[in-house]
A = this chain, B = another copy of it.
Amino acid sequence: MKNLFAERVLRNDTSDLNEIFKNSRNPENISFAGGFPDKQLFPTQALKAAYARAIDQAGPAIFQYASTQGLLSLRQKIADRMATHAGVQATAANVMLTQGGQQAIDLVAKLFLNRSDAMVVEGPTYMGALAAFDTYEPTYYEVPVDKHGMDTDRLRTTLAAHPEIKLIYTVPDFHNPTGTTMSAKRRQTLVALANQYNVMILEDSPYRDLRYSGKAVPAIKHYDTEGRVIFISSFSKILSPALRTGWIVAATPVMDALVGLKSAIDVQSPNVTLAAIDQYLATNDIDAHIATINQQYRVKRDAMLRALDRYFPSTVNYTRPAGGFFIWVTLPAGIDAQALLRDVVLPQAHVAYVPASCQFASRQVKNGFRLNYTSLSTADITSGVQRLGRILQTQLAVAPQPKLSFQF
């Protein structure tokens, strides 16, 4: 029946990478590829109690159809938190609950993107966002990320050259996949450019609260003067991804349209889940929980950086993130990280990572990969990086001279 599939499906073939990961299911493997939280840190008993309490308090009504925008008291708590934790003034009416941050991305893409419409993504960027955008078949313009976040000088040039651009997608806090955070100055420049060129900004910030060192920067939406910034985040990294609960903060005309779209996509999010999260927040200190998570993840990040310092060849570059889930590794130019993964790293070192190519909209940059440290024990982090470092030492010894085509 493939002859009947829509073009959006036929043109986005990711079977190569799927094939690699399908072949990677081996208990000997250490995978740095996922973006998983550490399951030992889930507040399992507190969430169990929250489900029971939510059902007891609401009774049968909790199982009925409810609002598309989502449970009001949870939206109110999120609005309050946006003020205290991100410097964003919002009311519950400006908050919608979604099926994780992923659905928030899909909804915003669906709202703005006709086929071929122009948008800016960071290079590299979150591959799940690319997967969502791809189904709306936009024209991508890639703006590089450096250690202060998206390069706003390059953004200015791009916007000037392509005034048809409608949307800018950015992960400003502990960027996926590089781990860098956009400076406050660039955030202000970004908003000024969006105002100047009549562009929307999609600020995707699921890692914002996971800071292990340094001081928080206000959200891009904090600097928003014209309702151009759509802020999205989720409970996936701070509570549990299986709850599939994220949120969008947006100005009223955008919010109204997003609610209409969500209604046509899945009517609403599961009310029982929303009520359970609401109960969890009412009776637990989520900031104390996040502080515990951050303490653990800091140790893991430090273990990975120590292992990289120790075992990786000096011709390889990597980021030193102040928070989040990921470290980005840049290989010498000419090295194809995906081919290396398939041919050498997986079969010989039994280690997995996410190669660069699928994290650039252009699919052209190949000499890098993303490493996750949150889901592994420090022992596995050290031993996996050691195994990977040994392979890289061998491979890069026979590779061309180091000349970094993408670096920090």
Determine if A34 is an interface residue (Cβ-Cβ < 8 Å). yes
Interface window among A177-185, A241-249, A311-319: A241-249
CA distance A7 to B47 in the complex (A): 42
Give the chain B neighbours of A269 by CB distance below 8 A: 99, 244
Determine if A176 is an interface residue (Cβ-Cβ < 8 Å). no
Determine if A253 is an interface residue (Cβ-Cβ < 8 Å). yes
CA distance A304 to B4 in the complex (A): 43
Give the chain B neighbours of A59 by CB distance below 8 A: 44
Give the chain B neighbours of A61 by CB distance below 8 A: 39
Determine if A391 is an interface residue (Cβ-Cβ < 8 Å). no
Give the chain B neighbours of A398 by CB distance below 8 A: none
Number of interface residues of A (CB under 8 A): 80
CA distance A56 to B47 in the complex (A): 11
Looking at the assembled complex, report how far the CB atom of A136 sits from the nearest CB atom of chain B, in whole angstroms.
Answer: 8
CA distance A200 to B6 in the complex (A): 13
Residues of chain A from 163 to 190 with CB closer than 8 A to chain B in the complex: 166-167
Query: Of the candidates B60, B251, B264, which one forms a contact with A39 in the assembled complex, judged by CB atoms under 8 Å apart?
Result: B60
Q: Smallest CB-CB separation from A267: which chain B residue?
A: B102
Determine if A347 is an interface residue (Cβ-Cβ < 8 Å). no
CA distance A267 to B136 in the complex (A): 17
> What 0/1 readout, one digit per residue, does chain A (266-284) give for beta carbons within 8 Å of chain B?
1111111100000000000
Do B60 and A44 have beta carbons less than 8 Å apart? yes
Do B257 and A272 have beta carbons less than 8 Å apart? no
Give the chain B neighbours of A48 by CB distance below 8 A: 51-52, 55-56
> What 0/1 readout, one digit per residue, does chain A (111-131) give for beta carbons within 8 Å of chain B?
111110100000000001001
Determine if A286 is an interface residue (Cβ-Cβ < 8 Å). no
4 nearest interchain CB pairs?
A63-B240, A99-B266, A131-B264, A242-B271
Interface set of A (CB-CB < 8 Å, partner B): 1-9, 14, 34, 36-37, 39-40, 42, 44, 47-48, 51-52, 55-56, 59-66, 98-100, 102-103, 106, 110-115, 117, 128, 131-132, 134-136, 166-167, 198-200, 227-228, 240-245, 251, 253-254, 257, 260-261, 263-273
